[in-house]
A and B are shown apart, each in its own frame.
Chain A
Amino acid sequence: MGLLDETVSVPRRTMTIFFLIDTSGSMEGNKIGAVNDAVVNVLPMISEISDTNPDAEIKVAALEFSSGTTWLYDEPKLASDFVWQDVVAGGLTSLGQACQDLSAKLSRSGFMKSASGSFAPAIILLSDGGPTDDYQSGLRKLKDNNWFKAAIKIAIAIGDDADKDVLKDFTGSSEAVITVHNIEALKQIIRVVAVTSSQIGSKSSTAGDTTKQDQVIKDVQDATKNIDGAEGGDSTSANNVDSSQYIDDWG
């Protein structure tokens, strides 16, 4: 009899990446098309990171919010198993409701397992406008959630109409808000943010005392410098790009 014989289970540790996608009416057309396209393309990359990572497996969950909210699946799925269902734009921007729903799922009774054996999740919020509901009460509730507090949080502001103050409030820092101004930049940033969050978030150790959130922000900011139509952080960000340099082009 060995101590690790057939009766003992040693599950792989888990890290969950959440996509929160604004599917309001203003996203209709190229924007939502680019989001669908980018997420479909990034899933195999996340799957590969998960497969080759000895530290943890990566699961994916997705919530779309417009006049209401819908989880694409009722549980997080392994990146390799996640079949993306194209989301369709239409309706309002219920970010507050999305925060409430996310908070409910960031719990043992929701999508999360025991904190032992888990890594903090990564949460990627994409939005092109401002909330049309009482987002503050939803976000207040979310901010009390221990999983959310520990999470890597990055927001992608799609165009100049996105309410960056709200996104900054969600992520906790303006540096964690990346603005994109065209379709190609949107696709590339989704890939960079998802891959970077997966790589850093699913590792046991961090580089020095830097938090995973800070590492992700730094790597994403660095990558953003090379993407035309994308700008990282606020106007005082590392790349010193003034947002007025770009004009939205969603043609």
Chain B
Amino acid sequence: MTNAFHYSCEGESHKATGKVCQDHSLTCSVDGLTVAIVCDGHGGERYFRSDIGSKCAADATLEAVTYFAEQVGDTLFENKPFTAVGPTTTLKDAKDLSAVDKAFRQLFSSIIYRWNEKIKQHAQTVAITEWEKANVPPKYLEEFSKSESFEKQYGCTLMAYVQTPTYWFAFHIGDGKCISFQENPIWKEPIPWDDRCFLNKTTSLCDTSAIEEFRYCYQGDGHFPWAILLGSDGLDDSFGETDNLANFYVQILKMLANEGQPATEASLQETLPQLSKIGSKDDMSVACVYDDTALHAHVVDLIQYQINLVTDKIHNADSRIRSAKKKLSSYSKLKFLDEKTKIEISYAKKEVSSSNEERNNLLFKHDSLMGQLSLMLSKNTKE
């Protein structure tokens, strides 16, 4: 059975400045169509209505993909193997666009159009507020008042996953990360990355060439990810390396399997604000779709993945310890130590000490995970 849930929370830095949460997430699963969406409104002063923009983008996307799924039926993706397409700038002039590529371009046009209609309606019905008068530079308010299009003020990113009984697809414009879980490799980023999303720069629905900035993937040969998680960049920036983010998602999936969805959602609502505080300070959003049966069948794989990850890190720590000790050994043969060598010796000693400490922590994690694995294997044997 396919389940879905989502959660967004205000970032720690937003609390300090009185800004509302500019992320918006959404999931729904109705009549065989499951959708997960995460939108992240831009934080700059010019984008002062991006919280509304991200909600409009999520609503527009849900409408557009629902219509899309009804219209294209099952034939468009029939037997299509997993296919991933990067930013479509290179495709726009191609004469031989596939039927799927054409359908996606139409879908993205529809989303942009619907989003523009929604933000236009909002802009024309909601006058500049007292908060905006007090907090937004006059030049941006003037731009808003004089403008007939409002993309910049409502600018945001968009990431979506759509699943039907016969196919699935996902698409993305902007930053944040989408991670899918399947047989092999256990996790991957199915949607190609866009190198224009770098540090605090991102592509956006409000860009003039937004339609060319969408990237996407799809599959219609009967294979589905058994779980997929969409996270805004606030989450991504808290973990740095994608391995760490995937490991957090593994924790979510393990908790779903062990403690059920309500407990996991409650834990997520408690955890994301904490994570924002110790991590990126940004708004945080997660949207998750998972197959409950497949999830239970893969818990052992998830634990094994974490064990492998920790084992690799133990090997890395071992390697650093060996290398530092080798340096120390070579220095011990010197009769005269110049200043530079003394500094290098001091660093090598620190490296041994910090790597040993890290190794001990990792061994503790390894033991804890081995305990979880053993428990799960014995539970599976009894069943």
Contacts and interface: CB of A to CB of B under 8 A. Distances in A.
Nearest to B197: A115
B151 interface: no
Contacts of A115: 198-199
Nearest to A9: B244
Contacts of A14: 240
Interface string A187-212: 00000000000000000110011000
A81 B351 CA distance: 11
B199 A10 contact: no
Interface of A: 1-11, 13-14, 54-55, 73, 77, 81, 83, 85, 113-120, 146, 150, 204-205, 208-209
B148 interface: no
9 contacts: A4-B251, A4-B274, A9-B239, A13-B237, A13-B279, A81-B347, A81-B350, A117-B280, A209-B46
Contacts of A81: 347, 350
A9 B306 CA distance: 12
Given A10-B279, A85-B339, A3 B251 contact: yes
Contact of A1 (B13, B248, B255, B280): B255
Nearest to A116: B236
B238 interface: yes
B237 A116 contact: yes
A250 B294 CA distance: 74
Given A6-B361, A10-B239, A11-B241, 19 more contacts: A1-B258, A4-B275, A6-B364, A7-B251, A7-B306, A7-B369, A9-B247, A10-B244, A10-B279, A11-B244, A73-B347, A83-B346, A85-B343, A114-B242, A115-B198, A116-B240, A116-B241, A146-B198, A209-B45
Contacts of A1: 251, 254-255, 258-259
Contact of B368 (A7, A54, A117): A7
Contacts of A209: 44-46, 137
Given A6-B365, A10-B238, A113-B240, A204 B267 contact: no
B267 to A, nearest CB: 5
Nearest to A4: B271
Q: How big is the B interface, by class?
A: 35 or more
B143 to A, nearest CB: 12
Contacts of B45: 208-209
B244 A204 contact: no
Interface in B228-253: 233, 236-242, 244-245, 247-248, 251-252
A117 B240 contact: yes
Interface in B168-218: 177, 195, 198-201
Contacts of B201: 150
Nearest to A211: B200
Given A3-B255, A209-B46, A8 B199 contact: no
B248 A8 contact: yes
B373 interface: no
Contacts of A5: 251
Contact of A120 (B195, B199, B240, B242): B199
Contacts of B238: 10, 117
B282 interface: yes
B365 A7 contact: yes
A10 B284 CA distance: 14
Nearest to B282: A204
B137 A208 contact: yes
B99 interface: no
Most buried by A among B240, B242, B268, B368: B240
A183 B277 CA distance: 43
A3 B239 contact: no
B248 A116 contact: no
A83 B251 contact: no
Interface string B346-383: 11001000000000010011001100000000000000
Contacts of B310: 7
A122 B252 CA distance: 36
Most buried by A among B177, B251, B258: B251
A4 B252 CA distance: 10
Nearest to B309: A7
B30 interface: no
Given A10-B239, A113-B240, A205 B13 contact: yes
A93 B279 CA distance: 41
Contacts of A8: 244, 247-248, 251
Most buried by B among A55, A85, A117: A117
B237 A117 contact: yes
**Top 4 A-B residue pairs of the complex, sorted by shortest distance between their CB atoms:** A117-B240, A3-B271, A116-B236, A204-B281
A55 B281 contact: yes
Contacts of A208: 45, 137
